[in-house]
A and B are shown apart, each in its own frame.
Chain A
Amino acid sequence: MNPFSSGTRLRDMIRAIRACKTAAEERAVVRKECAAIRAAIDENDRDYRHRNLSKLMFIHMLGYPTHFGQMECLKLIASPGFPEKRIGYLALMLLLDERQEVLMLVTNSLKQDLNHTNQYIVGLALCALGNICSAEMARDLAPEVERLLQFRDPNVRKKAALCAIRIIKKVPDLAENFINSAAALLREKHHGVLITGVQLCTELCKVSAEALEYFRMKCTESVVRSLKDLVNSPYAPEYDIAGITDPFLHIRLLKLLRVLGEGNADASDLMNDILAQVATKTESNKVAGNAILYESVQTIMSVEDSGGLRVLAINILGRFLSNSDNNIRYVALNMLMKAVTADAQAVQRHRATILECVKDSDASIQKKALELVYVLVNESNVKPLTKELIDYLEVSDQEFRADLTAKICSIVSEFSPEKIWYIDQMLKVLSEAGNFVKDEVWHALIVVITNAYDLHGYTVRALYRTLQTSAEQESLVRVAVWCIGEYGDILVKNVGMLDIEEPIVVTESDAVDILEMVIKQHTSDLTTKAMALIALLKLSSRFPSCSESIRNIITQYKGNLVLELQQRSIEFNKVLANHQNISSALVERMPVLDEATFIGRKAGSMLGTASTPRGPSVNIPNGVAKPSVAPLVDLLDLSSDDVPAPSPSGGDLLQDLLGVDLPPASQQLGSGQAPKSGTDVLLDLLSVGSPSVPPMSPSALSLSSTTDILSSSMNNKTPTSPLDDLTSLSLSAGAAPMMDLLDGLTSSPPTENNGLVYPSITAFESSSLRVTFNFSKETGKPQTTIIQAAFTNLTSNIYTDFIFQAAVPKFLQLHLDPASGHALPASGDGSITQTLRVTNTQHGKKNLIMRMRIAYKVNGKDTLEEGQINNFPRELGG
């Protein structure tokens, strides 16, 4: 005999494992046991096979690999005795799942056992088949199961019925074979068989229309009678739970009635009485009774309407809702959600209670209640509901805030009765939870603000005030910066004062100061800073007295490491210095964005088609001359993933320009050249204005095409100036296009200062995350590599609290700039970027190497990813 196999009994092994103090000790014990079991398997040891397999099951539950034991299951199942088979089938269900090939080998044993003379062995085989059979096994063994539905022992019949459920789920074609025998089960008296028979019928109705018709015709009455008998049955101790006879059977009968009555008035008529009886007579002081009531409400809501019953059902839900038991309230909310479609008015009556549930301490209830409130909102109740929700936002949990914010934003934008209210509510949300607001939301807010002519003053003053208290809310800051840039003069002159406002005194330098504060604030990301720069440029012409200090602020970013800021700083500086005469025209106020088109466009892009009519803009001689509608909307929409492919019509020009990553260069050039007249002045201006950037870089290209437009449109004497549009819009277009712009820059060869090309690499890729590195070097510092890391989310969940950490060996020095954000949108819909500078003290000798760690939260749960990056391009010179 093998020296190991005589070893420990199952009990001893469990004791030994439980005695382990550390995970390492436990691993050692398990390893030893596994070695012994393997040795026993190799020797084909019969005596201890079932003991070994029991041990393996325990080890499996601890999470260790046990695949080597799979064949042992089959051997035990094939042995003649009941004890061996019992263990064998149990292990089969535990260690294998239906997708494993090994399972096919068991079909034959199963077939034999289904025909065994011992009913318990038949039971074991049915149980295993019901729990893990695959489609092929279902086909092979269906006739056996069908036969066993008529077996003499009821305990075998009930198992066969559940087995049949599994079979028809796997292979719906087999349903018709079971219809007759299933109908026969409905006449059974044995509760177990009746319960399983009812379930089989319900399942048959779901997979086969033919079965549904059959049962509806032949069995509705008998099911109703069974339920009636059950409800009126005398006390039966064997099935009694809290004074109710067999609530499980109650519930299953109600479920079957629901399937039969749905969409069929005749069948529904038959069951009205008994449903009313169940709904009124059932005791509701225990879980079992409430479970039956809950099920009966579901059935009443689904079967054909008969007035009175619905009222009864809604009343039950009302009682549930005011119950002190959280479970009952949860199911009430769940059910009201479904009842809304049937009877919204009745559900509205419970609005106050539902609103209370949003503030419950239980996250499950909060979530359900919020969903329900969301569907209950309409024009008439939007104001009080929103007020409640926003008030609650201030005190809600961090985890719940994202959900709550999204819902409030959506409610406010959908039902707002007037603009001032919309703006007020959005400002409140932004100042409370601006960091949870999605880009589309604040883009939409800006569109609304531009359209509300008489509220410009009010809005910008309100924003100015809020900005001073809530400067840490990114999206609030962005909207405020944009508005101050656009309406700075209104802010200072107190234009359009409303009666409700408190007067406020803002000087020109105050406005500039607050922008300076934003741009210097460490929490501001690239987009915000870039927006602030534009706003400053705009203010410089609105406030001539401050233009010198504005220039000073702008000049500070001349040497900024982020190319985007650097380029803006240098270009704006040139505009201010050399072109005062045109700068006021250049920074005129944005043309108004058309709301209807914006909304239409949003809906269009959701459907995956750009349905905005493009025709008109093509008819205008110079398509860009009137850029107020579609193209601007495109720009705002850029951050959404599905930007429609730019069509070559002039109207899309602006989109082309900003979506530098989208169209091939030729198209850009083509569209840029469309208006040929008078391009030179500004072209010169801007290319002169950006000496540090080679004129052929994509951004420069886009800018030069801009100048084309600008000059041509000026020739056309249009009231608005497209460059103005463009620049401000490129900002309001949000983070994503900005990143695209940067990507475009860093990955395209001509932008490299020393003329070298560094291929970008995918530094890390898992199923959930991708990290790409783009490289560049500063002139004269070959040992320093600047890495633009871009993180893309490959899953459909948003990552929050995203933190990237990196470590390098001693011969490298690492400097990390702050990341562009801490939330990573789902499905690659935008990315976070972060700049890293690595200085190699052994330049030319050793290659770069880095370890990285990324921590983030998915649905509030911490996740950690780690990796080593050693595929840095050799061209970096180590």
Chain B
Amino acid sequence: MIHFVLLISRQGKVRLTKWYSPYTQKERTKVIRELSGVILSRAPKLCNFVDWRGYKVVYKRYASLYFCMCIDQDDNELEVLEIIHHYVEILDRYFGSVCELDLIFNFHKAYYILDELLIAGELQESSKKTVARLIAAQDALVETAKEEASSLSNIIAQATK
């Protein structure tokens, strides 16, 4: 299973963290610090896997962002690379050529997409289209709720005029 997902910028800033195994706040900070030290210092062209505390961390760099996933010793590293790529493609399609800024200002959206892709550290959906459709449907629900709220407040405002 995937124990956690980290998105770290080249400067070592955390852009997204998702923990599927229990880690306390303190451990989380430590893990992030430790791993960003290891991963950011690796030269390009080296392999995308790092042995770390008995686990394996699979990472891949896309522009200025490192996508990292921590998996068990006997999990398939190559597949995890493919999962990372799968996630990036979905993000790309959703934001329209995604960049780091999109993920900073819309970090919650990045989380929503991840939640449609992984649950309990396991893969949930292999179709990019399905994920996109589900996210769009939920975004639409939010929009309708907002419109309702604003029209409601308009009505109230008019009534109390």
Contacts and interface: CB of A to CB of B under 8 A. Distances in A.
B87 to A, nearest CB: 12
A327 B125 CA distance: 25
B141 A120 contact: yes
Contacts of A251: 76, 79
Contacts, number: 166
Contacts of B62: none
Contact of B82 (A163, A288, A298): A288
Contacts of A98: 22
A365 B42 CA distance: 13
A367 B127 contact: no
Contacts of B138: 82, 86, 120
A131 B3 CA distance: 10
Contact of B51 (A54, A93, A367): A367
A330 B77 contact: yes
Contact of A57 (B76, B86, B107, B130): B107
Interface stretch (B63-71, B90-98, B108-116): B108-116
Given A97-B23, A367-B51, A61 B15 contact: yes
Contact of B122 (A120, A162, A291, A330): A162
Nearest to A120: B138
B78 A87 contact: no
A729 to B, nearest CB: 39
Interface string A162-193: 11011001000000000000000000000110
B129 A362 contact: no
B79 A291 contact: yes
B21 to A, nearest CB: 9
Contacts of A861: 34, 37
B80 to A, nearest CB: 9
Interface stretch (A239-247, A270-278, A479-487): A239-247
B155 interface: no
B22 A191 contact: no
A14 to B, nearest CB: 6
A54 B124 contact: no
A295 to B, nearest CB: 5
A105 interface: no
Contact of A327 (B22, B47, B111): B47
Contacts of A290: 78
A83 B126 contact: no
Contacts of A326: 45-48
Contacts of B124: 158-159, 162, 192, 195-196
Contact of B104 (A18, A81, A87, A169): A18
Contact of B129 (A126, A165, A238, A367): A238
B141 A192 contact: no
Contacts of B24: 97, 99
A239 B126 contact: yes
B119 interface: yes
A252 B123 CA distance: 10
Contacts of B141: 82-83, 120
A291 B49 CA distance: 14
Given A97-B24, A131-B20, A861-B37, A291 B78 contact: yes
Interface in B143-159: 145-146
A192 B120 contact: no
B146 to A, nearest CB: 7
Interface in B21-73: 22-25, 29, 34, 37, 43, 45-51
B81 interface: yes
Q: Contact size class for B?
A: 35 or more
A155 interface: yes
A62 interface: yes
Given A120-B138, A162-B119, A196-B122, A331 B77 contact: yes
Nearest to B128: A238
Nearest to B58: A327
Contacts of B115: 90, 93, 127, 131
Contacts of B74: 298
Nearest to B143: A83
Contacts of B17: 61, 94
Nearest to B144: A82
Contacts of B86: 241, 248
Given A63-B29, A249-B126, A99 B78 contact: no
Contacts of A365: 47
A48 interface: no
A239 B45 contact: no
B119 A195 contact: no
Given A120-B138, A163-B119, A192-B127, A329 B107 contact: no
A151 B124 CA distance: 16
B83 interface: yes
Interface string A320-333: 00000011111100
A672 interface: no
A287 B127 contact: no
Contacts of B104: 14, 18
Contacts of B81: 287, 291, 327
B82 A247 contact: yes
A172 B45 CA distance: 42
Contacts of B76: 251, 291, 294-295, 298
A62 B20 CA distance: 19
A163 B130 CA distance: 19
Contacts of B83: 248
A130 B29 contact: no
Contacts of B46: 326, 361-364
A58 interface: yes
B88 interface: no
B82 A291 contact: yes
Interface string A287-319: 110110011001000000000000000000000
Interface string A340-373: 0000000000000000000001111101100000
B126 A364 contact: no
A11 interface: yes
Contact of B120 (A54, A120, A166): A166
A425 interface: no
Nearest to B74: A298
B54 to A, nearest CB: 12
Interface in A687-720: none
A162 B120 contact: yes
Interface centre among B43, B49, B74, B77 (most CB of A within 10 A): B49
Contacts of B50: 364
Contact of B77 (A81, A158, A169, A327): A327
B126 A191 contact: yes
A724 B130 CA distance: 82
B99 interface: no
A327 B78 contact: yes
A169 B82 CA distance: 25
A322 to B, nearest CB: 15
A90 B138 CA distance: 14
A57 B74 CA distance: 33
A103 to B, nearest CB: 11
A334 B138 CA distance: 42
Nearest to B148: A81
Interface string A125-152: 0110011000000000000000000000
Contacts of A63: 14, 29
A199 interface: yes
26 contacts: A11-B105, A14-B105, A57-B107, A83-B142, A83-B146, A127-B115, A130-B120, A158-B125, A159-B119, A162-B122, A192-B127, A195-B123, A199-B122, A248-B79, A248-B82, A251-B76, A287-B82, A287-B85, A298-B74, A298-B76, A326-B47, A327-B78, A329-B47, A363-B46, A365-B47, A368-B51
Q: Which 3 A-B pairs have the closest CB atoms?
A: A291-B78, A326-B47, A162-B119
Given A120-B138, A163-B119, A249-B126, 4 more contacts: A191-B125, A196-B124, A239-B126, A288-B78
Interface of B: 14-20, 22-25, 29, 34, 37, 43, 45-51, 74, 76-79, 81-83, 85-86, 104-105, 107-108, 111-112, 115, 119-120, 122-130, 134, 137-138, 141-142, 145-146
